[in-house]
Structure 1
């Protein structure tokens, strides 16, 4: 089935197909992100799971187009779609991912067609256009040119390509009349504009949703995960560890006499103390596998430590207490020293809900405060 044998208007069908491919891709991307622990992270198609998924998705699409072309027996089928795929994976997925997708298309071409004259022409044309697109993308980014320059350049490349097809009348390509040439140039220009608008809109929406997620789950002062993020993560971790033999421990921490710091030195100094303590907690927690730090409110912080048993968590807590106690905090031309009160508990068989685990850890913290502060209370410590 070629573009001209579709029952609907080829132009409108082309628009809906191109948008459908991208919208479906975005739906799957959001599904992947929603299952990620770093849901507030900036969306990046160049690394990690999204890069792997993008390569797989567009490689499958490229292989499908080659299958359709092979079934038709000539390269006239889906030329514009295949070129749009080549252009946009090069623009948005980077050199590495786009190169893999192009190589997958080459491999599919060889398997379906063999080393024919058409295959050689296909390799040559695709390689030239791919390298030219990389060059254009590099120029646009280096000189910070508007995106419309790149989109217009792609239109020109496609227009020249169809004029070459019309002039050469390659036997493996089929007859390319002026009507076919002008129609495909016009169709590509329209689909290219619509696709760029759709991708830009969806990317803007993704960035906005990511910003909202980050604002909802991140403490604006310390940049740590906030209470909402803590509750969600704790629920997830407790559910995962309740029926396993793995250990799950948690540390609750409170800055001693923090109200006095605010009253004596002002809230700006208090904010600097909170930021500095948050940084220490992050620095030290990075030494613990999978540990995650949260500011749960005021001068209170919690650290969730998966796969960490109670003796290891206790050792970490005493080290953290000493690190904070021995640190001099230079704030507002002052040099202050502070202490903290901590409580540490381990998830137990009676913790049927995450709240029970949370409350027990909090009781350990309050016990440290009741014992004169600057203490670490370990659950069931003997």
Structure 2
């Protein structure tokens, strides 16, 4: 449990490293564009830069790229217009260029901030592409050599490119969501998995620390489960897991904010938002009684099932989620070490 939580400490570092890749790509491409002498070739190659910026902003959602983009757009305008001498520098030209820079900055920020909404909405997607491409066009619009039809063709080419990428990304996203669903779902019991538990437990713990919810956690373990597997076989053991999972699910459906997970071999966890000790204790006793009513028929005979339960309510002394989790787990072990088939709340067995 602790090892799994510790891996999250490196997420920010990996996030920074990932963002450097597209930024470096854009920097190299910008250097290449500024080295081109032919205006027609430069304008043709420019669509690749617009494409890359749009793609990275939309798909990777990196805010740092917005700031780099504004800087690149400014350098681009100064270098192209003043050094290359393609523009007659007039007040009107400067105003148009300023508008171009503002539109580049604004459109980049909107694309970054609402990237998920834009990806999921085809109309917004096309609008974002046109605005972003047009913003770059405003930076070069005053040029005497600019062919407006050529620039319109550039935008159309961009839309074709991005539509293809969008289609590929949509397929990839569907596959990704299906994969995440499989990862977050336990294949045997169809409950939420340990991976889903860690994420939800982390979010709930932070909410409890911020005093936005009253958090309780229940951890359950099937008694003598290894003996069941050894005596009746793993197929019967799997059937027991399914029956216990179903019994638990049936007894938490009317509790708002209750999330059930399979967090280990024969271990289950329930995260309860806005639930105090009394409600958590009541739920635990109902689950215990429901499991006690289970009867498993096999060729070797019929046997019953029992579970042990540990219940903990988050307190200010639980400074970390590991401490909170371990406290609940210690109550579970207390129940197991004192006869099993018991519910332990705050270190006290309550069903005897």
TM-score by length of 2: 0.56
**Is it true that 1:273 corresponds to 2:240 in the alignment?**
yes
Residue 95 (structure 1) aligns with: none
Pick from 60, 78, 88 the counterpart of residue 27 of structure 1.
60
Deviations 1:10-60 (A, max 9, x none): 76656765675465333349xxxxxxxxxxxxxxxxxxx966984598189
Is this contact kept in 1: 2:130–2:159, CA < 8 A? no
Alignment of 1:159-238 (within 5 A): 194-214=161-181, 216-238=183-205
**Which residue of 238, 248, 253 corresponds with 2:220?**
253
**Aligned-residue offset at 1:215:** 5.1
CA distance in 1, matches of 2:172, 2:223: 43
* Counterpart pick for 1:345 among 309, 312, 324: 312
* Equivalent in the alignment of 2:257: 290
Q: Distance in 2 between matches of 1:57 and 1:200?
A: 14
2:16 aligned residue: none
Distance 1:274 1:325 in 2: 14
Alpha-carbon shift at residue 328 of structure 1 (Å): 3.6
SS at match of 2:251: helix
Residue in 2 that maps onto 1:325: 292
- Measure, in 2, the Cα distance between the counterparts of 1:377 and 1:337: 21
Asked whether the 8 Å contact 1:251–1:304 carries over to 2, the reply is: yes
Q: How much is the aligned-residue C-alpha RMSD, in angstroms?
A: 4.4
Q: Is 1:242 matched up with 2:308? A: no
Q: Is the 8 A contact 1:310 1:345 kept in 2?
A: yes
* Cα contact 1:11–1:187 (8 A) shared by 2: no
- Change over 3 Å in CA distance of 1:11–1:294 after alignment to 2: same
* Counterpart selection for 1:61 from 106, 127, 149: 127
Counterpart Cα distance in 2 of 1:64 and 1:199: 14
* TM-superposed deviation, 1:214: 4.4
Contact 2:232/2:300 (<8 A) preserved: no
Q: Secondary structure at the match of 1:285?
A: coil
Q: How many residues align?
A: 251
Distance 2:280 2:311 in 1: 7
**Match of 1:361, SS?**
helix
CA change 1:191–1:242 in 2 (3 A) is: closer
* Cα shift at 1:338: 1.1
Per-residue deviation at 1:280?
3.1
Instruction: Provide the TM-score with structure 1 as the length reference.
Output: 0.52
Deviations for 1:117-141, whole angstroms, at most 9, x for unmatched residues?
A: xxxxxxxxxxxxxxxxxxxxxxxxx
Equivalence for 1:105: none
What's 1:82 paired with? none
- 8 Å Cα contact 2:308/2:341 also seen in 1: yes
SS in structure 2 at match of 1:312: helix
Q: CA deviation at 1:313?
A: 0.5
Q: Is the 8 A contact 1:272 1:331 kept in 2?
A: no
SS of 1:222's equivalent in the other structure is: coil
Which residue of 1 is the match for residue 339 of structure 2?
372
